[in-house]
Homo-oligomer: A and B are copies of this chain.
Amino acid sequence: MTDVNFKPAISPVPREEDVASNDPAQNEAEDSLPYDLIELLFFAYKDFTGDPDDVLAEFEFGRAHHRVLHFVERNPGIMVTDLLGILRITKQSLGRVLKQLVDAGIIEQREGLNDRRQRLLYTTERGHTLAEELAHLQQKRLERALIGLPDGSEEIVRQFLLQMIDPEARADIMRLIRSPFPLKD
């Protein structure tokens, strides 16, 4: 048997309000619901995160560890506070995951040079290697997903994804994505 088995039984009692009325305008809203895109996003995202999940499972790490590792790899020397702001989780949630990554020698904490309260975060050699491995897996999937699409599709997808994000957050995220080393301050 295949992994995914879709043979829903027949619908013995079709819902009355689902029967099209004579007025097309009345059905428009319901008919135009983009269920295909909604479901494709669901399945696509699941598989997209699945690749790294499988690798991390060998280390007894989960997706939370991946997110932390990813953003530390991308923003070496990031403050704990800023990392919390990116991930939108609480200090306590980060605490456990971060401690495990530090204990496993994946992430390293260094005291801030100017501000000794800070515990700036860096990937270790091992962490750097692992982060790259995970990014490569996701890269391969992204490349496969763009195969056969017309020129310019990557930029369309990029724009689409950016516009999926809440408008207020877009500028911040653009900055984060474009310049992982702001070197400001």
Contact = CB atoms under 8 A, between A and B. Distances in A.
Interface string A131-152: 0100110110110111111101
- Tell me the dominant secondary structure on chain A's binding face: helix
A149 B88 CA distance: 29
A147 B163 contact: yes
Contact of A4 (B13, B141, B172): B172
Interface string A69-104: 010001111110110011010000000000000000
A120 interface: yes
A38 B163 contact: no
Interface of A: 2-15, 17, 29-30, 32-48, 50, 67, 70, 74-79, 81-82, 85-86, 88, 110, 112-115, 118, 120, 122, 128, 132, 135-136, 138-139, 141-142, 144-150, 152-154, 156-166, 168-169, 172-173, 175-178, 180-185
